[in-house]
Amino acid sequence: SLWAYQIIEHNTRFPDMRYGYSYMRSPWSSNPSPYVSRFTYTEQTLPTCSDHYDTFDYDTLSDYLNGIELGAHGNAHFVTGGVFGCDVLEPLVDEGVFSSIDDTYGFCQIWVLKTKFWYRDYIVTMRDDCYVEGDDYTDHNNFNCGLICDDSTEGKEAVYEILKADAKLYLAEASDEQLEILRQFICNGNMHKIITGDQFISSSAADPAFWPIHPTLERLYHAKL
């Protein structure tokens, strides 16, 4: 393929922002691959002609930008990027945190959407010493990374409240015990093994498919003007 094995550059210019595996990705990304990544799992669908046509209903730039967060814009990035590693949540069904495998995948979608907000609100940060054991970037058993959380009482309570708000549709009961199991899994377990494709984070411009997406939206906005 012409676009196979597109390289993601290492972060060599901003030492204070070397998180995860030190690639030029969002600082909350735990993707260990040195290449532009796309994954197949997603519950979203690609934008339709109707989604693009609906953008003409917006009268102001602010309404337009808010309206395309999903639909004509965000879904294109999410579907192209996809998600990898949701199966690491499946053991939490046996622990009573989730009622079914389907619920774990539902929460996985929420997690990849919300991780950046957790990071921006200082709820979690990414380790800066991550590495892959061996050369197999496709087996998440080889990923050695993790999230750093505030383990103070206030930090724990902040995580509980966010989980209650963001994940209430998927948690079995959201009891204190279940919330702590999930918090431990996020902060000290395998949550870092859930990763998104590059189209869904700030490295999206490294994927050639990025470039038809944004110019299309800009042309639609200019057509509206």
Contact predicate 143/193, CB 8 Å = yes
Contact predicate 189/89, CB 8 Å = no
Q: pTM of the prediction? A: 0.86
pLDDT tens sequence for the chain (225 residues)? 677 889 999 888 888 887 889 999 998 999 999 999 999 866 778 889 999 888 888 888 888 888 888 788 888 888 889 999 999 999 999 999 999 999 999 999 888 888 888 899 888 999 989 999 987 888 888 999 999 998 899 989 989 998 888 788 898 888 889 999 999 999 999 999 999 999 988 899 999 989 988 888 888 888 887
User: CB under 8 Å to 191, separation ≥6 — which residues?
Assistant: 88, 111, 147, 185
Query: CA dihedral in degrees (78, 141, 155, 121; nearest 10)?
Result: -30
**Alpha-carbon torsion (82, 125, 87, 168), positive or negative:** negative
Query: CA dihedral in degrees (180, 110, 28, 36; nearest 10)?
Result: 140
Phi, psi (5° rounding) for residue 196?
A: -110, 160
